[in-house]
Amino acid sequence: MIRSTLALALAAALLAACGQGADQQEVAAPAALEPSGAPETVEVDDAAWLQAAASVIEMQPLPDLNAKVFGTAAGDPAVNGLYTYIAFFGGAAEGWRVFRLGDFESFEVLASAPGRIDLELRESAIDAESGQVAASTRRIIVGWTPGEDGAPPQTISVTPAA
């Protein structure tokens, strides 16, 4: 009990001392913008495709690969809910060729190279015995063979990785 009280007191003293250095400068918040003209009213854009675009909540462009990894909000956010995809741009006539990778909490692109990206995925599942949500992290390699003349791939592969 005495040891934990001393530890808390020491931690509080250290935190208080951190903010008292003579060389520290207070950073001012940026000033709010001042209007310089009349406002314009903008109406709702109800194009159907914008509903899907507005669902995108995370995106990692891969410009060297003419691709991107992105996630859309869906499902139960307490247990995953980030539907994750990789998409390859096929040009103005074709648009994007999209492949679903899965339903995760989050993703991180670890590395990318022609024909391959390495991803770290965080996901959760409900433990059958306890009923509690258990989180885990795993890695995968997404591979593909580009089509002729750099066209998007017809298929991709997903391989577990260490």
Our count of domains for the chain comes to 1
Domain range for 146: 48-161
Dihedral over alpha carbons 32, 36, 40, 45 (to 10 degrees): -40
119 within some domain: yes
Question: Mind listing the pLDDT tens digit for each residue in 84-132?
Answer: 999 999 999 999 999 999 999 999 999 999 999 999 999 998 888 888 8
Kindly report, residue by residue over 45-69, the tens digit of the pLDDT: 999 889 889 999 999 999 999 999 9
pLDDT on residue 149: 85
Token output for 53? 């675009």
Whether residue 140 is contained in a domain is answered as yes
Of 159, 158, 150, give the one whose Cα is nearest residue 67.
150
Ordered alpha helix ranges (H), 40-124: 48-54
User: Is 86 contained in some domain?
Assistant: yes
Query: Looking at the domain assignment, is residue 40 inside a domain?
Result: no
pLDDT tier, 161 (very low <50, low <70, confident <90, very high otherwise): very high
The distance of Cα 4 from the centroid of its chain, to the nearest Å, equals 39
Residue 141 lies in a domain: yes
Residue 24: pLDDT above 80? no
Q: Could you tell me if 78 and 72 are in contact, meaning their C-beta atoms sit under 8 angstroms apart? A: no
Q: Is 124 inside any structural domain? A: yes
Q: Is the pLDDT of residue 151 over 60?
A: yes
Tokens 């940026």 label which residue?
30
Q: Distance of CA 54 to CAs 32, 71, 79, 101, 125, Å?
A: 27, 11, 21, 19, 26
